[in-house]
């Protein structure tokens, strides 16, 4: 499995080959220390996306340290 990084700002799960910047929020604050995983396909109708403040479809970590 490829190494995954998570943005500390928006919790987006990124593949290492996506570079050192989050494509969603533009943050450079990435970490390997995270837990839980959720895939949000339709953020406009998702209660989880609403709770997390997610507006873009994608893979997100539930807990980021």
Extract the annotated binding site for Zn(2+).
7, 10, 22, 25
- Return the half-sphere exposure (C-beta side, CA atoms, 13 A cut-off) of residue 15: 5
Q: What is the C-alpha R_g of the chain?
A: 11
Beta-bridge partner residues of 59: 39
Which residues are annotated binding-site positions? Answer: 7, 10, 22, 25
CA 55 from chain centre, in angstroms, equals 11
């Amino acid at each position: 499995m490829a190494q995954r990084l998570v943005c500390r700002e928006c919790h987006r799960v990124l593949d290492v080959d996506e570079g050192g910047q989050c494509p969603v929020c533009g943050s450079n604050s990435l970490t390997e220390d995270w837990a839980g995983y959720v895939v949000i396909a339709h953020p406009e109708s998702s209660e989880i996306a609403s709770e997390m403040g997610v507006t873009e479809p994608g893979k997100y970590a539930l807990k980021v340290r």
